[in-house]
Amino acid sequence: MDFEFTSEDEAFRTEARGWLAARADGAQDRRTWERTLGKAGWIGIGWPEDGYGNRTATLTQQVAWAEEYARSGAPPRSGHIGENLLAPTLIIHGSEEQKSRFLPPVAAGEELWCQGYSEPGAGSDLAGVRTSAVRDGASYRITGQKIWTSLAHEADWCFVLARTDAGSRRHQGLSFLLVPMDQPGRVEVRPIRQMTGTSEFNEVFFDGAQARAEHVVGKEGQGWRVAMSLLGFERGVSTLAQQIGFAQELGRVVRAAVRTGAVDDPVVRARLVRQWAELRAMRWNALRTLGGSGDAGAPSVAKLLWANWHQRLGELAVQVRGAEASAGPCDWAPASPYELDPDQHLFLFSRADTIYGGSDQVQRTIIAERVLGLPREPKGVV
Protein backbone atom coordinates (compact mmCIF):
# COMPACT_ATOMS: atom_id res chain seq x y z
CA MET A 1 0.00 0.00 0.00
CA ASP A 2 1.45 3.37 -1.04
CA PHE A 3 2.44 5.77 1.73
CA GLU A 4 1.34 8.78 -0.36
CA PHE A 5 -1.82 10.49 0.88
CA THR A 6 -5.03 9.82 -1.04
CA SER A 7 -8.68 10.80 -0.90
CA GLU A 8 -9.18 7.78 1.36
CA ASP A 9 -6.79 9.38 3.85
CA GLU A 10 -8.95 12.51 3.93
CA ALA A 11 -11.94 10.28 4.70
CA PHE A 12 -9.88 8.70 7.47
CA ARG A 13 -9.09 12.15 8.93
CA THR A 14 -12.80 12.99 8.98
CA GLU A 15 -13.66 9.69 10.66
CA ALA A 16 -10.82 10.09 13.16
CA ARG A 17 -11.94 13.59 14.13
CA GLY A 18 -15.43 12.26 14.72
CA TRP A 19 -14.10 9.38 16.78
CA LEU A 20 -11.98 11.68 18.96
CA ALA A 21 -14.96 13.98 19.53
CA ALA A 22 -17.13 11.02 20.46
CA ARG A 23 -14.74 9.11 22.68
CA ALA A 24 -15.16 11.55 25.55
CA ASP A 25 -18.75 10.29 25.70
CA GLY A 26 -17.73 6.65 25.32
CA ALA A 27 -19.43 6.42 21.92
CA GLN A 28 -16.84 4.01 20.52
CA ASP A 29 -14.31 1.73 22.15
CA ARG A 30 -10.62 1.25 21.55
CA ARG A 31 -11.15 -1.85 19.45
CA THR A 32 -13.26 0.20 17.05
CA TRP A 33 -10.43 2.72 16.87
CA GLU A 34 -7.97 -0.05 15.99
CA ARG A 35 -10.22 -1.11 13.13
CA THR A 36 -10.43 2.49 11.95
CA LEU A 37 -6.64 2.70 11.83
CA GLY A 38 -6.41 -0.68 10.12
CA LYS A 39 -8.97 0.20 7.48
CA ALA A 40 -6.82 3.19 6.49
CA GLY A 41 -3.62 1.11 6.40
CA TRP A 42 -1.99 2.86 9.37
CA ILE A 43 -1.14 -0.30 11.31
CA GLY A 44 2.19 -1.91 10.47
CA ILE A 45 3.86 0.92 8.59
CA GLY A 46 7.15 -0.07 10.26
CA TRP A 47 7.02 -3.66 9.04
CA PRO A 48 9.71 -4.45 6.48
CA GLU A 49 7.09 -6.15 4.27
CA ASP A 50 3.72 -5.06 2.92
CA GLY A 51 0.98 -7.15 1.38
CA TYR A 52 -0.88 -7.71 4.65
CA GLY A 53 -3.17 -4.68 4.35
CA ASN A 54 -0.55 -2.28 5.72
CA ARG A 55 1.35 0.50 4.00
CA THR A 56 5.13 0.72 4.41
CA ALA A 57 7.12 3.80 5.35
CA THR A 58 10.70 4.94 5.69
CA LEU A 59 12.13 5.38 9.17
CA THR A 60 11.70 9.17 8.87
CA GLN A 61 8.07 8.74 7.84
CA GLN A 62 7.46 6.38 10.76
CA VAL A 63 8.84 8.98 13.18
CA ALA A 64 6.63 11.68 11.66
CA TRP A 65 3.53 9.50 11.93
CA ALA A 66 4.24 8.43 15.53
CA GLU A 67 4.95 11.97 16.72
CA GLU A 68 1.91 13.49 15.02
CA TYR A 69 -0.27 10.70 16.40
CA ALA A 70 0.94 11.56 19.91
CA ARG A 71 0.49 15.30 19.39
CA SER A 72 -3.09 14.83 18.18
CA GLY A 73 -4.23 13.48 21.53
CA ALA A 74 -5.38 10.25 19.87
CA PRO A 75 -6.23 7.40 22.27
CA PRO A 76 -3.62 4.94 23.56
CA ARG A 77 -3.22 1.99 21.23
CA SER A 78 -4.57 -1.39 22.31
CA GLY A 79 -3.03 -3.12 19.29
CA HIS A 80 0.58 -2.06 19.78
CA ILE A 81 1.70 -5.43 21.20
CA GLY A 82 0.58 -7.27 18.08
CA GLU A 83 1.83 -4.58 15.72
CA ASN A 84 5.21 -3.74 17.24
CA LEU A 85 6.23 -6.95 19.01
CA LEU A 86 4.54 -10.02 17.57
CA ALA A 87 4.47 -8.98 13.90
CA PRO A 88 8.22 -8.21 13.49
CA THR A 89 8.96 -11.47 15.31
CA LEU A 90 6.77 -13.45 12.92
CA ILE A 91 8.31 -11.70 9.92
CA ILE A 92 11.74 -12.96 11.03
CA HIS A 93 10.97 -16.32 12.66
CA GLY A 94 7.48 -17.32 11.56
CA SER A 95 6.50 -19.67 8.78
CA GLU A 96 4.73 -18.37 5.68
CA GLU A 97 1.56 -20.02 6.95
CA GLN A 98 1.85 -18.19 10.29
CA LYS A 99 2.50 -14.85 8.62
CA SER A 100 -0.46 -15.29 6.30
CA ARG A 101 -2.71 -16.30 9.20
CA PHE A 102 -1.77 -13.72 11.82
CA LEU A 103 -0.41 -10.56 10.16
CA PRO A 104 -3.51 -9.49 8.16
CA PRO A 105 -5.81 -9.49 11.24
CA VAL A 106 -3.22 -7.44 13.16
CA ALA A 107 -2.95 -4.95 10.27
CA ALA A 108 -6.75 -4.72 10.11
CA GLY A 109 -7.07 -4.09 13.85
CA GLU A 110 -9.24 -7.19 14.14
CA GLU A 111 -7.13 -9.29 16.52
CA LEU A 112 -5.45 -7.96 19.65
CA TRP A 113 -2.49 -9.59 21.40
CA CYS A 114 -0.93 -9.80 24.85
CA GLN A 115 2.50 -11.00 26.02
CA GLY A 116 2.82 -14.10 28.22
CA TYR A 117 6.36 -13.78 29.60
CA SER A 118 6.48 -12.84 33.30
CA GLU A 119 5.49 -15.30 36.01
CA PRO A 120 5.25 -14.99 39.82
CA GLY A 121 8.65 -16.69 40.14
CA ALA A 122 10.14 -15.45 36.88
CA GLY A 123 9.70 -11.74 36.38
CA SER A 124 13.06 -10.07 35.98
CA ASP A 125 14.69 -13.50 35.59
CA LEU A 126 12.76 -14.58 32.50
CA ALA A 127 14.79 -17.76 32.01
CA GLY A 128 13.20 -19.15 35.17
CA VAL A 129 9.75 -19.67 33.60
CA ARG A 130 7.87 -22.73 34.85
CA THR A 131 4.81 -22.66 32.60
CA SER A 132 4.95 -25.96 30.74
CA ALA A 133 3.59 -27.18 27.43
CA VAL A 134 3.23 -30.87 26.55
CA ARG A 135 2.77 -32.01 22.98
CA ASP A 136 -0.55 -33.75 22.41
CA GLY A 137 -0.88 -34.70 18.77
CA ALA A 138 -0.77 -31.56 16.63
CA SER A 139 -1.15 -29.20 19.59
CA TYR A 140 0.26 -28.48 23.05
CA ARG A 141 -1.45 -28.65 26.44
CA ILE A 142 -0.34 -25.68 28.56
CA THR A 143 -0.13 -25.56 32.35
CA GLY A 144 0.94 -22.56 34.39
CA GLN A 145 0.44 -18.94 35.29
CA LYS A 146 1.55 -15.64 33.81
CA ILE A 147 1.39 -12.31 35.62
CA TRP A 148 1.49 -8.59 34.83
CA THR A 149 0.01 -9.44 31.43
CA SER A 150 -0.92 -6.08 29.92
CA LEU A 151 -4.34 -5.91 28.22
CA ALA A 152 -4.96 -9.66 28.57
CA HIS A 153 -8.60 -8.87 29.35
CA GLU A 154 -8.97 -7.39 25.86
CA ALA A 155 -6.69 -9.71 23.88
CA ASP A 156 -7.74 -12.38 21.40
CA TRP A 157 -4.32 -14.10 21.42
CA CYS A 158 -1.28 -14.38 23.67
CA PHE A 159 2.29 -15.29 22.71
CA VAL A 160 3.55 -17.48 25.53
CA LEU A 161 7.06 -18.54 26.52
CA ALA A 162 6.70 -22.05 27.93
CA ARG A 163 8.94 -25.00 28.79
CA THR A 164 8.37 -27.84 26.32
CA ASP A 165 11.25 -29.98 27.59
CA ALA A 166 10.34 -31.13 31.09
CA GLY A 167 13.95 -31.80 32.07
CA SER A 168 15.40 -28.55 30.78
CA ARG A 169 16.80 -25.64 32.78
CA ARG A 170 17.19 -21.93 32.25
CA HIS A 171 17.33 -20.92 28.57
CA GLN A 172 17.14 -24.46 27.22
CA GLY A 173 13.94 -26.30 26.30
CA LEU A 174 11.70 -23.24 25.91
CA SER A 175 9.24 -22.68 23.05
CA PHE A 176 7.39 -19.63 21.76
CA LEU A 177 3.69 -20.56 21.47
CA LEU A 178 0.69 -18.67 20.08
CA VAL A 179 -2.30 -19.27 22.34
CA PRO A 180 -5.94 -18.29 21.68
CA MET A 181 -7.43 -16.52 24.70
CA ASP A 182 -11.00 -17.53 23.91
CA GLN A 183 -10.89 -20.86 25.70
CA PRO A 184 -13.60 -20.65 28.39
CA GLY A 185 -12.72 -22.65 31.47
CA ARG A 186 -9.27 -23.31 30.06
CA VAL A 187 -7.69 -19.86 30.02
CA GLU A 188 -8.67 -17.64 32.94
CA VAL A 189 -7.88 -13.92 33.15
CA ARG A 190 -7.96 -12.16 36.52
CA PRO A 191 -7.47 -8.36 36.46
CA ILE A 192 -5.00 -6.91 38.98
CA ARG A 193 -6.32 -3.69 40.44
CA GLN A 194 -3.57 -1.12 40.89
CA MET A 195 -3.40 1.83 43.25
CA THR A 196 -4.62 4.02 40.39
CA GLY A 197 -7.90 2.10 40.56
CA THR A 198 -7.42 0.71 37.04
CA SER A 199 -6.62 -2.82 35.89
CA GLU A 200 -4.46 -2.77 32.78
CA PHE A 201 -2.42 -5.70 34.14
CA ASN A 202 -3.74 -9.22 34.67
CA GLU A 203 -2.97 -12.70 35.91
CA VAL A 204 -3.50 -15.44 33.32
CA PHE A 205 -3.99 -19.09 34.28
CA PHE A 206 -3.68 -22.00 31.85
CA ASP A 207 -5.48 -25.25 32.71
CA GLY A 208 -3.16 -28.02 31.55
CA ALA A 209 -5.98 -30.49 31.00
CA GLN A 210 -7.72 -28.26 28.47
CA ALA A 211 -5.72 -25.14 27.46
CA ARG A 212 -4.37 -25.63 23.96
CA ALA A 213 -1.94 -24.06 21.50
CA GLU A 214 -1.42 -25.21 17.93
CA HIS A 215 1.26 -22.78 16.75
CA VAL A 216 4.95 -22.72 17.74
CA VAL A 217 7.13 -19.96 16.25
CA GLY A 218 10.55 -21.19 15.21
CA LYS A 219 11.37 -24.72 16.21
CA GLU A 220 10.40 -26.41 19.45
CA GLY A 221 13.06 -25.67 22.06
CA GLN A 222 14.24 -22.46 20.36
CA GLY A 223 11.88 -20.18 22.23
CA TRP A 224 14.61 -18.27 24.05
CA ARG A 225 16.14 -17.06 20.79
CA VAL A 226 12.73 -15.99 19.49
CA ALA A 227 11.80 -14.32 22.78
CA MET A 228 15.04 -12.32 22.89
CA SER A 229 14.55 -11.26 19.28
CA LEU A 230 11.11 -9.94 20.21
CA LEU A 231 12.47 -7.93 23.14
CA GLY A 232 14.76 -6.13 20.70
CA PHE A 233 11.69 -4.58 19.07
CA GLU A 234 10.56 -2.88 22.29
CA ARG A 235 12.65 0.16 21.47
CA GLY A 236 12.49 2.28 18.34
CA VAL A 237 10.10 4.80 16.83
CA SER A 238 7.60 4.45 19.67
CA THR A 239 10.20 5.95 22.05
CA LEU A 240 10.01 9.30 20.24
CA ALA A 241 6.20 9.26 20.34
CA GLN A 242 6.39 8.50 24.06
CA GLN A 243 8.51 11.61 24.53
CA ILE A 244 5.84 13.77 22.88
CA GLY A 245 3.47 12.59 25.59
CA PHE A 246 6.12 13.34 28.22
CA ALA A 247 6.49 16.88 26.85
CA GLN A 248 2.73 17.40 27.10
CA GLU A 249 2.77 16.20 30.72
CA LEU A 250 5.71 18.50 31.53
CA GLY A 251 3.84 21.43 30.01
CA ARG A 252 0.87 20.70 32.24
CA VAL A 253 3.13 20.61 35.32
CA VAL A 254 4.76 23.92 34.37
CA ARG A 255 1.34 25.57 33.96
CA ALA A 256 0.28 24.23 37.36
CA ALA A 257 3.46 25.62 38.94
CA VAL A 258 2.73 29.06 37.49
CA ARG A 259 -0.92 28.93 38.60
CA THR A 260 -0.12 27.95 42.20
CA GLY A 261 2.92 30.20 42.55
CA ALA A 262 5.21 27.20 43.12
CA VAL A 263 7.38 28.45 40.27
CA ASP A 264 8.56 31.30 42.58
CA ASP A 265 10.49 28.71 44.61
CA PRO A 266 14.03 28.55 43.13
CA VAL A 267 14.28 24.84 43.96
CA VAL A 268 11.10 24.10 42.01
CA ARG A 269 12.31 26.23 39.11
CA ALA A 270 15.56 24.31 39.04
CA ARG A 271 13.69 20.99 38.99
CA LEU A 272 11.47 22.16 36.14
CA VAL A 273 14.48 23.25 34.10
CA ARG A 274 16.21 19.94 34.81
CA GLN A 275 13.15 18.01 33.61
CA TRP A 276 13.08 20.04 30.38
CA ALA A 277 16.82 19.62 29.76
CA GLU A 278 16.77 15.88 30.43
CA LEU A 279 13.80 15.39 28.12
CA ARG A 280 15.75 17.08 25.32
CA ALA A 281 18.74 14.86 26.05
CA MET A 282 16.51 11.76 25.89
CA ARG A 283 15.24 12.84 22.47
CA TRP A 284 18.75 13.33 21.14
CA ASN A 285 19.79 9.96 22.53
CA ALA A 286 16.76 8.28 20.92
CA LEU A 287 17.54 9.89 17.57
CA ARG A 288 21.18 8.83 17.89
CA THR A 289 20.30 5.18 18.44
CA LEU A 290 17.21 4.99 16.20
CA GLY A 291 17.57 2.28 13.61
CA GLY A 292 20.91 1.21 14.98
CA SER A 293 21.92 -2.31 15.93
CA GLY A 294 24.69 -3.98 17.83
CA ASP A 295 24.63 -1.62 20.84
CA ALA A 296 23.73 -4.05 23.60
CA GLY A 297 23.37 -1.33 26.21
CA ALA A 298 21.22 1.16 24.25
CA PRO A 299 17.79 -0.22 25.29
CA SER A 300 18.84 -0.43 28.95
CA VAL A 301 20.23 3.11 28.98
CA ALA A 302 17.03 4.41 27.39
CA LYS A 303 14.84 2.57 29.91
CA LEU A 304 16.84 3.89 32.87
CA LEU A 305 16.63 7.44 31.51
CA TRP A 306 12.92 7.66 30.79
CA ALA A 307 11.67 5.59 33.74
CA ASN A 308 13.45 7.69 36.36
CA TRP A 309 12.68 10.95 34.53
CA HIS A 310 8.98 10.12 34.40
CA GLN A 311 8.89 9.09 38.03
CA ARG A 312 10.46 12.40 39.09
CA LEU A 313 7.92 14.25 36.93
CA GLY A 314 5.08 12.49 38.76
CA GLU A 315 6.51 13.62 42.09
CA LEU A 316 6.87 17.17 40.80
CA ALA A 317 3.30 17.15 39.44
CA VAL A 318 1.82 16.78 42.92
CA GLN A 319 4.45 18.93 44.65
CA VAL A 320 3.68 22.07 42.65
CA ARG A 321 -0.04 21.79 43.47
CA GLY A 322 0.44 21.57 47.21
CA ALA A 323 -2.46 20.44 49.38
CA GLU A 324 -4.97 20.45 46.52
CA ALA A 325 -3.17 17.45 45.00
CA SER A 326 -4.46 15.27 47.84
CA ALA A 327 -8.13 15.77 46.89
CA GLY A 328 -9.66 13.87 44.00
CA PRO A 329 -11.70 15.48 41.22
CA CYS A 330 -14.98 13.96 42.47
CA ASP A 331 -16.60 13.39 45.84
CA TRP A 332 -15.53 10.05 47.26
CA ALA A 333 -18.07 7.34 48.12
CA PRO A 334 -17.13 4.07 49.86
CA ALA A 335 -19.17 1.97 47.42
CA SER A 336 -17.68 3.55 44.29
CA PRO A 337 -14.20 3.41 42.74
CA TYR A 338 -12.20 6.55 43.46
CA GLU A 339 -11.26 8.83 40.60
CA LEU A 340 -7.95 10.55 39.92
CA ASP A 341 -7.11 13.65 37.97
CA PRO A 342 -4.28 13.42 35.39
CA ASP A 343 -1.57 14.61 37.79
CA GLN A 344 -2.57 12.16 40.50
CA HIS A 345 -2.68 9.32 37.98
CA LEU A 346 0.76 10.35 36.69
CA PHE A 347 2.20 10.29 40.21
CA LEU A 348 0.76 6.90 41.18
CA PHE A 349 1.21 5.03 37.90
CA SER A 350 4.78 6.26 37.40
CA ARG A 351 5.81 4.46 40.60
CA ALA A 352 5.83 1.32 38.45
CA ASP A 353 7.98 2.82 35.67
CA THR A 354 11.22 1.64 37.28
CA ILE A 355 9.85 -1.91 37.67
CA TYR A 356 7.91 -3.04 34.60
CA GLY A 357 9.66 -3.69 31.30
CA GLY A 358 12.77 -4.69 33.23
CA SER A 359 13.54 -3.12 36.59
CA ASP A 360 16.33 -0.59 37.12
CA GLN A 361 18.40 -3.30 38.78
CA VAL A 362 18.04 -5.57 35.74
CA GLN A 363 18.96 -2.76 33.33
CA ARG A 364 22.10 -1.92 35.32
CA THR A 365 23.08 -5.58 35.37
CA ILE A 366 22.73 -5.77 31.58
CA ILE A 367 24.93 -2.69 31.15
CA ALA A 368 27.49 -4.05 33.60
CA GLU A 369 27.75 -7.45 31.93
CA ARG A 370 27.21 -6.72 28.24
CA VAL A 371 28.80 -3.28 27.92
CA LEU A 372 31.37 -2.97 30.71
CA GLY A 373 32.35 -6.63 30.66
CA LEU A 374 32.02 -7.12 34.42
CA PRO A 375 31.61 -10.64 35.85
CA ARG A 376 28.16 -12.10 35.38
CA GLU A 377 25.74 -11.97 38.28
CA PRO A 378 25.31 -15.47 39.81
CA LYS A 379 21.89 -16.99 39.13
CA GLY A 380 20.15 -19.57 41.25
CA VAL A 381 19.35 -22.95 39.71
CA VAL A 382 15.70 -23.36 38.71
Determine whether 66 is exposed, middle or buried from the number of CB atoms within 10 Å of its CB (0-12, 13-18, 19+): buried
Best CA proximity match to 107, nearest among 159, 197, 38, 177: 38
For residue 346, give the 3-state DSSP assignment.
helix
The residue type found at 340 is L
67, 200, 203, 234: the active-site residue: 234
234 is a catalytic site residue: yes
Measured from the Cβ of residue 319, the count of other Cβ atoms closer than 10 Å reads 19
Calpha distance 18→28 (Å, rounded): 10
CA distance 31 to 78: 7
The Cβ of residue 216 has, within 10 Å, a number of other Cβ atoms equal to 23
DSSP string, 80-96: HHIIIIIHHHHHHHS-H
Tell me if 364 sits within 8 A of 303, measured CB to CB. Answer: no
Q: Which residue type, as a one-letter code, is found at position 267?
A: V
Query: Which three-class secondary structure state does DSSP give residue 38?
Result: helix
Catalytic residues: 234
